[in-house]
Structure 1
């Protein structure tokens, strides 16, 4: 998939297929819905994304959050001229996931010319918050690197 052609009309199945051979695919992250300023996704708890003891690894929560926020920012800019780079990710883990799926919703809270800030709430399947992640993305011209 040519990500410079990414749009709100791109089927999530095509996006997931393009991400299969990346960290996103390795962790089992799946994009489930894309909208303007909002991206949803999930991951099934597995040995690929759990820590010893079988609960979801906190780093997997952060990767899920950064993935959704990064994709969300990519959907908001002209990728033929601009690039999106994650410059800050932090999270507060408020619960644990022992089984099932982590379900995440990323919403943009600041949409500037040079930065985007996203809040990503990650819950268990019953809707209980397990992690709240904040992501800042830098929007830069492709020739700036």
Structure 2
């Protein structure tokens, strides 16, 4: 994995051009044997009206990193990955800086996968704890 780390991150970032991930300035920054990390800047673009990170932006970040992790860790040549369900518990407000989302696989089934995505601030404090279920659908 280490030898391919930069290539994997480059591919993940390249396919985001022209998508919601580009709109939200999400960038994939780290990958390991069983995780993927993305970061997103907290700016007025992702605020709710009272000037803090919108929970919906956090959920978009979580689903983006969880789905990208599915793409990396499953056979994307044979399967399309789709999100089935996502839930989020928001625990801390953020006004500026970056948030980081780390997707880790909890369950890797033949058809469905379960991901835990922890979103933290720059100090490492938990901002949101999310759970994503994805499905692998055969291509063709």
Q: If the length of structure 2 is used for normalisation, what is the TM-score?
A: 0.90
Q: What 5-or-longer segments of structure 2 have no aligned partner? A: none
Residue of structure 1 aligned with 2:114, choices 99, 110, 117: 117
Q: Which residue of 2 aligns with 1:79?
A: 76
3-state SS in 1 of match to 2:118: strand
- Correspondence list, 1:1-145, <5 A: 10-143=7-140
Q: Deviations over 1:32-79 (max 9, x none)?
A: 012232000111111221111221110111111111110111112222
Distance across 2 between alignment mates of 1:68 and 1:10: 16
Shift of 1:20: 2.4
CA contact (8 A) 2:43 2:95 kept: no
CA 79–8 in structure 1, closer or farther in 2 if over 3 Å, else same: farther
SS of equivalent residue, structure 2 residue 51: coil
SS at match of 2:68: helix
Distance 1:137 1:32, change over 3 A: same
Distance in 2, Cα, partners of 1:18 & 1:118: 21
Q: SS state of the match for residue 24, structure 1?
A: helix
RMSD between superposed Cα atoms in Å: 1.5
Deviation string for 1:12-43 (max 9, x for gaps)? 23421321210011011111012232000111
Partner of 2:61, secondary structure, is helix
TM-score where L is the length of structure 1: 0.88
4+ residue runs of structure 1 moved beyond 2 angstroms? 7-11
Equivalences, count: 137
Deviates most, 47-56 or 60-69: 47-56
